[in-house]
Amino acid sequence: MELDQLWQQSQQLFRTLQARICAALEELERAQGHDATFSHDPWQYAAGEGGGITRVLEDGAFLEKGGVNFSAVQGEFPEDFAATMPGSGRRFRATGISLVLHPRNPHVPTVHANFRFLMKGDGIRWTAWFGGGADLTPYYPRVEDARHFHRVWKQVCDRHPTVADYARFKRWCDEYFFVRHRGEPRGVGGIFFDYLQDRLPEVYAFVSDAGHAFLDAYLPIAERRRREPYGPRHRRWQLLRRGRYVEFNLVYDRGTLFGLRTGGRIESILMSLPPLVMWRYDFRPEPGSPEARALELLQPRDWLADEEEDDSNNDKPSSV
């Protein structure tokens, strides 16, 4: 498959995924008794060619804020930034879909997914690769939810054994989505991959499969948790943990840094940030509390291990 053809097919894939995911989430809003819909905000890339469509839903019954971005842009990297990536030259083409969903209910996890195709070169000779992944950030983790999320991604990887390795991508995710200055994981992980350059048509098939599997990975969890009652204590914990999400995205996230270093559209880049967040000085949950248990469950583990675990975190704190 020629790179120009792969560039065009990838754009179409990511446009399709954006429309499909937004439609499913709007249906979930209707199931919650609300008619909230995603905005449709086309934009042009000011620092080069192309643009994208940013779609955001705010103040919904299910989503407090959710964003699903599509972009396809061309431009030139700063020289120092170009040196951090494979290939020679400074020109680039980049297309992808990026989404972050911040549910209102603290028992429903925040989720992130991103799939992208990049080309870097001098306009004649190109180095191309795919990257992406998905990770789950629960505030009150449930073993069954984490297992379901990981099971879906393992099944996707197993369907593409020549280019995808669940065990490797799972470790990569655990290492990448780690808030290093806090010494703690962002969530329960998922899969993460980058710079997949070999067998590009096969990698494209894997990325397409993974993109279409996102709803299978997340919606069953959302359906299980969206009606669970919560009170002020749950909400405070959610806002405190969202602070870790903000710290990661502003300090480490590759997509955020890519957008900022390449003159991207700020509103679209920062749509991943939650609408409300809280920081408290040196906050530590009470030992033995569900919040303390939540931090224990966030430690990297083999979520698909055969042995059964008691999901004791279903004992939720009372409202205070």
DSSP letter string, 287-308: TTSHHHHHHHHTS---TT-SS-
H helices of the chain, where?
Answer: 3-31, 79-82, 143-158, 166-176, 200-225, 232-251, 254-261, 266-269, 290-297
How does 172-194 read in b/e, with b if 16+ C-beta sit within 10 Å? bbbebbbeeeeeebbbbbbbbbb
Q: 223-243: per-residue pLDDT in tens?
A: 999 999 999 999 999 999 999
Q: What angle do CA 19, 142, 281 make, to 5 degrees?
A: 95
What is the bridge-based pairing of β-strands 49-58 and 110-121?
A: unpaired
Q: The tokens of 67 are what?
A: 């964003």
Per-residue model confidence as pLDDT tens for the chain (320 residues): 599 999 999 999 999 999 999 999 999 999 999 999 999 999 999 989 999 999 999 999 999 999 999 999 999 998 888 888 999 999 999 999 999 999 999 999 999 999 999 999 988 899 999 999 999 999 999 999 999 999 999 999 999 999 999 999 999 999 999 999 999 999 999 999 999 999 999 999 999 999 999 999 999 999 999 999 999 999 999 999 999 999 999 999 888 988 888 888 889 889 899 999 999 999 999 999 999 999 999 988 999 986 455 454 444 443 33
CA atoms within 13 Å, Cβ hemisphere of 242 = 25
Find the catalytic residue in 102, 112, 150, 234.
Answer: 112
Q: Cβ(136)–Cβ(190) under 8 Å? A: yes
**Of 112, 116, 60, which is closest to residue 264 (Cα–Cα)?**
116
Q: Residue 306: its pLDDT value, please?
A: 60
63-76 vs 110-121, strand pairing mode: unpaired
The chain-wide mean pLDDT, for the chain, equals 93
* Annotation marks residue 112 as catalytic: yes
**CA nearest neighbour of 101 among 210, 280, 207, 222:** 222
The whole-number pLDDT of residue 212 equals 98
Fold of the CATH domain 3-314: oxygen-dependent coproporphyrinogen oxidase (3.40.1500)
Rounded CA separation 48/283 (Å) = 44
Q: Is 57 helix (H, G, I), strand (E, B) or coil?
A: strand
Please answer whether residues 40 and 238 qualify as being in contact, where contact means their C-beta atoms are separated by less than 8 angstroms.
no
Sign of CA dihedral 300, 304, 305, 311: positive
Maximum distance among all alpha carbons in the chain?
A: 63
CA distance 103 to 107: 9
The pLDDT assigned to 315 comes to: 45
Q: What is the pLDDT of residue 312?
A: 47
